[in-house]
Chain A
């Protein structure tokens, strides 16, 4: 184990994992117990050395997130009525509207939060899960990719909140009203599913060398 571990450690520092030492570390609080212990005595979490079953959850939630992301882009996110004229705009359409209005900065924020981040999250999670399944030991950069995906997930909700605020605020009878479109629901679901997918991932799997069990 140590050979693989060392070859892949970025700082080339020799490390011993709890698993290699015949111990189980608690994923919640880090306390260490002999293999076979069922629950952490400190925090009560069920002890699993490597949660291989987590990969199934990761894939299931990831696919669910990808599926509901499609209607989120096809159906309108906002229905704007100004002086009796109704206009529907999708996520990407909203970005183009913003560019037309000259607010490039906000257009960029919306585009990044609702297109770039979700799509790159799908790719990143799938990539990490595939690596684990193929038994490729990861490096610190793979772990940082995971940390980033986990951190950034919630920020995609921005678009849903923007729609909520606009719909609450812009209710000026005849002059202008804004109503949310059905895409808001599927977009919110997509973000939530992808967050669950990333949260289910056991990051300790990322580091493992092939020997350390990859059969699902």
Chain B
């Protein structure tokens, strides 16, 4: 893990030392203007999306990480085979999601009375009367949006993992996937299940169904996958691939 050097720092290695101007004594602002004028491009600069600090794009080894000097946001994190892994993990997550929705999720039994419920039942819990919209919202949060996100990621990364040019509209689709990200709440749902289980544990016996484990797997896969994704790196790759 290394820190990115601010763009105007002349030293080759990432440093946390005071600013030095080697050749010219221009102010930083003037230097930018100068650089821009000379190279007619600011394509080797990057501004941290979270705090606007300019950095010079570093040449990173695979597996290294570049962070913003001011706020610590990860700016670049190239990894070997990241695209392939994202695609594989998304496909796995999709399969697990299908299992999670259709197999029984939990089974409750007390004194001979039993009730199996699926994720679908949890969604339909709010389907009476005024609360119907909440049913749609829950369906969206735990099934529809995660699935949309997996499909979008496969659409964007599968062609690139195979070495092809990015698919049509890949940028829009990737933006959509990023916009959905906070709203895909499969992992929140799993913690909710855990809390619910403790609540009914005294009341009745609860058996975990196959769908529960599918969902747990899904959450682990999602977390793994998101670790492989660095937004800025993805955009750079998308950009480079679509130009060539």
Contact = CB atoms under 8 A, between A and B. Distances in A.
Interface residues of B, number: 78
Given A164-B123, A176-B110, A204-B50, 12 more contacts: A14-B19, A25-B48, A28-B178, A32-B54, A105-B198, A165-B106, A170-B108, A171-B117, A172-B113, A180-B134, A185-B130, A185-B133
27 contacts: A14-B19, A16-B8, A16-B29, A17-B47, A17-B53, A18-B47, A18-B52, A19-B52, A22-B29, A23-B36, A23-B47, A24-B47, A28-B178, A31-B47, A31-B239, A32-B54, A109-B191, A157-B185, A158-B188, A160-B138, A161-B185, A161-B188, A164-B122, A168-B122, A172-B115, A180-B126, A207-B51
Contacts, number: 243
Interface string A1-27: 010000001010111111111111111
B141 interface: yes
A42 B235 contact: yes
Interface of B: 6-8, 16, 18-19, 28-29, 32-33, 36, 42-43, 45-54, 69-72, 75, 106, 108, 110-111, 113, 115, 117, 121-126, 128, 130-131, 133-134, 137-138, 141-142, 171-172, 174-175, 178, 182-183, 185, 188-189, 191-193, 195-196, 198-200, 202-204, 206, 231-232, 235-236, 238-239
A118 interface: no
B125 A154 contact: no
Contact of B49 (A26, A143, A172, A199): A26
The 8 A-B pairs with the shortest beta carbon distances in the complex, nearest first, are A25-B47, A161-B192, A29-B235, A167-B125, A168-B121, A18-B47, A21-B32, A165-B196
A136 to B, nearest CB: 15
B124 to A, nearest CB: 7
A124 B118 CA distance: 38
Chain A interface category by residue count: 35 or more
A43 interface: yes
Contacts of B183: 154, 195
